[in-house]
């Protein structure tokens, strides 16, 4: 009786392995919190030795920073996908606001809350959080500016309107860890009402997706 020889597993390239580590660390950051992202945990998730992780990331701090940047980038791209760039600005903003309130993105709010807290004590993370905030401002401001050009929105200060909208989102995110024992209808419409006010839109115009 002969046995079939086992084919060797394909060896991952350094780029593939690094991307796999970051992908896993970003997922863990979303699911469990940034402070739980350690080389040991990522290694356990991947079924490899911790030394492999440290081969690609010199410190846990570096891994944590890049994991946050990856998670924030991927979530931002899902909230405002490039594939929708051709849609009217009002529709893009409406979809963005609807998505940001979905349960699917609840972990994103917790991640930002987590990152801002930890950034007080970690200079590298503070820098990365600032970079990601700047990118989000640029992306959302560009949508608002396009809306002003097309006549969809009315504002003399697109960046200022963007900042107010993001502050409203961050304000709601501060409740991300609540147990849900407190609820009020105003919380359901806070962000859209703020955006409508800042952009000179009729009440309720951003709550659908025409």
Q: Would you say residue 93 has pLDDT above 90?
A: yes
Q: Decide which of 1.10.10, 3.80.10, 3.40.50, 2.60.40 is the CATH code for 13-70.
A: 1.10.10
Q: Would you say residue 199 has pLDDT above 90?
A: yes
pLDDT at 113: 86
Give residue limits of the domains in the chain.
13-70, 80-210
Q: What class is the 80-210 domain?
A: mainly alpha
**Mean per-residue pLDDT for 58-80?**
91
Give the up-direction half-sphere exposure of residue 205: CA atoms within 13 A in the CB hemisphere: 16
pLDDT digits (tens, 9 = 90+) for 175-190: 665 656 667 777 778 8
Place of tokens 């950034």: 119
Q: How far apart are CA 132 and CA 53, in angstroms?
A: 24
Q: How far apart are CA 96 and CA 111, in angstroms?
A: 18
pLDDT at 32: 87
Record the tokens describing residue 120, joined without a space.
């007080």
Q: How far apart are CA 174 and CA 134, in angstroms?
A: 20
Which helix or strand (DSSP H or E) is residue 171 part of? helix 158-173
């Amino acid at each position: 009786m002969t046995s079939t020889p086992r084919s060797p597993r394909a060896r991952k390239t350094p780029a593939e392995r690094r991307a796999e580590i970051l992908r896993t660390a970003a997922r863990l950051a979303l699911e469990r919190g940034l402070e739980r992202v350690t080389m040991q945990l990522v290694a356990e998730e991947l079924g490899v030795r911790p030394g492999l992780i440290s081969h690609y990331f010199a410190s846990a701090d570096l891994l944590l920073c890049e994991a946050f940047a990856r998670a924030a980038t991927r979530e931002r791209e899902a909230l405002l996908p490039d594939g929708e760039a051709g849609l009217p600005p009002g529709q893009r903003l409406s979809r963005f606001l609807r998505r940001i309130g979905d349960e699917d993105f609840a972990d994103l709010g917790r991640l930002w809350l987590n990152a801002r807290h930890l950034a007080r004590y970690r200079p590298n993370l503070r820098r990365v959080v600032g970079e990601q905030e700047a990118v989000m401002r640029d992306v959302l401001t560009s949508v608002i500016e396009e809306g002003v050009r097309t006549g969809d929105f009315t504002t003399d200060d697109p960046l200022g309107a963007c900042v107010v909208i993001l502050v409203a989102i961050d304000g709601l995110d501060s409740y991300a860890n609540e147990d849900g024992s407190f609820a009020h209808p105003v919380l359901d419409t806070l962000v859209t009402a703020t955006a409508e006010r800042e952009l000179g839109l009729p009440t309720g115009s951003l709550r659908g997706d025409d």
